[in-house]
Amino acid sequence: MSRPLIATLGGIAFFVAYLALAATIGSAIPSGRWLLQLAYFIVAGVAWFPVIRWILLWSVYKR
Domain residue extents for the chain: 3-60
pLDDT tens string 1-51: 789 999 999 999 999 999 999 999 999 999 889 999 999 999 999 999 999
Distance CA 38, CA 16 (A): 21
Distance CA 63, CA 44 (A): 31
Question: pTM of the predicted model, to two decimals?
Answer: 0.82
